[in-house]
Amino acid sequence: MNNAVQFKAAASAMAAIGATAHFDWRLAGYDLQCSQAHVEMLYRQNIICQADASQLQSGLEQLSQQVRVGEFVAPPDAEDIHTALELQLEALIGPVAGWLGTARARNDLAVTALKLWLRDQIDTLLGKLKVLLEAFRQQALRHAATVMPGYSHLQVAQPITFGHLNLAYAETLLRDGERLLFARAALCECPLGSAALAGTSFSIDRTYTAQRLGFERPSANSIDSIGERGFALDFLGAASSLALNLSRFAAEVVFWSTQSVGFIVLPKELVSGSAAMPHKRNPDAAELIRAKSGRVLGNLQALQVVVKGLPLTYFRDLQEDKEPLFDSADSLHLSLDAAISIVNLMQPQPEAMARAASIGFITSSDLADWLVINLNIPFREAHHLVARLVQCAQNNNLELGELPLELRVAIDPRLAVKHWPSFSLEQSVKARRSYGGTAPERVRQAAEEFALRLSKLNEINNN
């Protein structure tokens, strides 16, 4: 291969590896918002004249309209969306477009546009998360007294209510909402005006630009502003937690909907059939939520690896900050939409839940509590006694409440009581009245309290 061919191949490789316009087009509208605010500030500070400012704003508005209706097409020679928009602006208004780059650089423009995009994504995700949380709350109210088995190690452990379990996922996901709010708070500083990395010699008003774009204040250090991607990592951390917890819920849905368990029935819109086994109803929506969590978790690690070895300020490595963010936001939008449909449309099967809760010796812990309360036996000792009673009942094919006096006395003389208790599933859950417990009255109370906490999350976000 001769040198000319090699150089041509090198140029082609560089253009391919450096191109981002095919994915950072999402930032077009935000880039233009930044430019419009920047032009306003330049005119207010007498850095550009009114005629040039008007011409710039007119061109930027034309571009904004093209972006809104989907007519804008990036020129093929533009390596990123920011260059593409600048080239198109020049095509629209001529050399006056050159004033737009005054007192700014692509470095501060790109990171500001990314922050604006991310802020809108978080707000939309929070809106969907609130819908999901309310769906869980409504299921909790409907099924505050619907008894089902609680599992530990996937072994039947203690009776709980389906409402209580729904609130458990609501609590988990509410914390993810708070994590998203934390990530949003990290977007409060505006980098625009930091220029390439050292600031600018023009007498700009960064506070005006920041407030015009909805930020609380301009960023305090121009070097930090350009090279910092902590805000992106904060979002990906919150996104990873949300995806992980949605995945755990999805795994539960897969388990609940199996034929051998049958705790819920999903509508046909959320399941698929099998070409070879027509009786099957595969819970595809839940399985795909579970799978997409892997992408989001991987995106966090991907950006961490990109950033970990970078000194300040800007390196070309940082063009890789966008795809992990875009993909994670997309995956969460899809996952939340599917989860909302699952929670709203799943049909709990109380009879199947009650049957599953009736196996084994699920109320054995209730008997241990009874021994403590009524016979004054220390709890640890009561626990060991009940373990022996369970073994005795198994050996004699009896329930705990059916053990006759002679068998009980053979284990411990203190068990020679006339009225030996037998606990129903309903009695068991009603007895769990401690704050945060599974008693129906507590579940209903918790659902009402959760509504207040959810409304406060709304207030925080609206502010």
Q: Indicate whether 461 pLDDT > 60.
A: no
Tens of pLDDT, residue by residue over 436-451, are: 999 999 999 999 999 9
- Give the CATH fold of the 110-143+161-356+455-462 domain: Fumarase C; Chain A, domain 2 (1.20.200)
Q: Indicate whether 426 pLDDT > 60.
A: yes
Q: Indicate whether 274 pLDDT > 70.
A: no
Q: Indicate whether 460 pLDDT > 80.
A: no
Tens of pLDDT, residue by residue over 103-130, are: 999 999 999 999 999 999 999 999 999 9
Per-state percent for the chain, helix, strand, coil, to nearest 5: 70, 5, 25
Q: In the chain, how long is the greatest CA-to-CA distance?
A: 104
| Predicted pLDDT of residue 459 | 63
Q: How confident is the model at residue 295 (pLDDT cuts 50, 70, 90)?
A: very high
Of residues 327, 313, 316, 332, the one with CA closest to residue 20: 316
Mean pLDDT across 202-209: 98
Range 3-31 burial, b when 16+ CB lie within 10 A, else e: eeeeeeeeeeeeeeeebbbeebbbbbbbb
196 three-state secondary structure: coil
Element (H, E) at 190: strand 189-190
150 three-state secondary structure: strand
Q: Which of 153, 203, 260, 419 is catalytic?
A: 153
Of residues 20, 40, 16, the one with CA closest to residue 84: 20
Tens of pLDDT, residue by residue over 134-161, are: 999 999 999 999 999 999 999 999 999 9
| Predicted pLDDT of residue 429 | 96
Residues 217 and 300 sit within 8 Å (Cβ to Cβ):
no
Interacting residues of 182 by C-beta distance below 8 A, sequence separation 6+: 234, 238
| Predicted pLDDT of residue 434 | 96
Range 360-381 burial, b when 16+ CB lie within 10 A, else e: ebbbbbbbbbbbbeeeebeeee
Q: Which of 58, 274, 422, 455 is catalytic?
A: 274
Mean pLDDT across 239-255: 98
What does residue 416 show for φ and ψ, rounded to 5 degrees?
A: -80, 65
As a CATH number, domain 3-102 is 1.10.275.10
Of residues 311, 312, 303, the one with CA closest to residue 226: 312
Residues 422 and 403 sit within 8 Å (Cβ to Cβ):
no
State how far the Cα of 237 lies from the Cα of 240, in Å rounded to an integer: 5
State how far the Cα of 76 lies from the Cα of 83, in Å rounded to an integer: 11
Tens of pLDDT, residue by residue over 28-86, are: 999 999 999 999 999 999 999 999 999 999 999 999 999 999 999 887 778 899 999 99
Of residues 183, 74, 84, the one with CA closest to residue 126: 183
Dihedral, CA of residue 17, residue 22, residue 23 and residue 24, to nearest 10: 90
Q: Indicate whether 233 pLDDT > 60.
A: yes
Residues 87 and 106 sit within 8 Å (Cβ to Cβ):
no
Tens of pLDDT, residue by residue over 2-38, are: 788 988 898 889 888 988 888 889 999 999 999 999 9
Whole-number mean pLDDT of the chain? 94
| Predicted pLDDT of residue 276 | 64
Q: Indicate whether 462 pLDDT > 70.
A: no
Q: Indicate whether 336 pLDDT > 70.
A: yes
Q: Indicate whether 458 pLDDT > 90.
A: no
Token output for 274? 């099998």
CATH class, domain 357-442, is mainly alpha
C-alpha 75: how far from its chain's center?
35
Element (H, E) at 13: helix 3-18
The amino acid that residue 269 corresponds to is E
Mean pLDDT across 273-285: 76
Residue with tokens 């949003």: 184
Residues 125 and 329 sit within 8 Å (Cβ to Cβ):
yes
Residues 81 and 21 sit within 8 Å (Cβ to Cβ):
yes
| Predicted pLDDT of residue 84 | 93
**Residue 153 falls in the annotated catalytic set:** yes
Residues 103 and 193 sit within 8 Å (Cβ to Cβ):
yes
Q: How confident is the model at residue 463 (pLDDT cuts 50, 70, 90)?
A: low
| Helix 81-93 with 50-68: angle, nearest 10 deg | 120
167 three-state secondary structure: helix
211 three-state secondary structure: helix
Mean pLDDT across 265-285: 82
Alpha-helical runs (H) found in 309-396: 322-345, 350-357, 364-375, 379-395
**Residue 257 falls in the annotated catalytic set:** no
Residues 213 and 29 sit within 8 Å (Cβ to Cβ):
no
DSSP 8-state assignment for residue 48: S
Mean pLDDT across 327-348: 98
Tens of pLDDT, residue by residue over 172-185, are: 999 999 999 999 99
Q: Indicate whether 327 pLDDT > 70.
A: yes
What does residue 203 show for φ and ψ, rounded to 5 degrees?
A: -85, 75
Where along the chain do its domains lie? 3-102, 110-143+161-356+455-462, 357-442
What does residue 382 show for φ and ψ, rounded to 5 degrees?
A: -60, -40
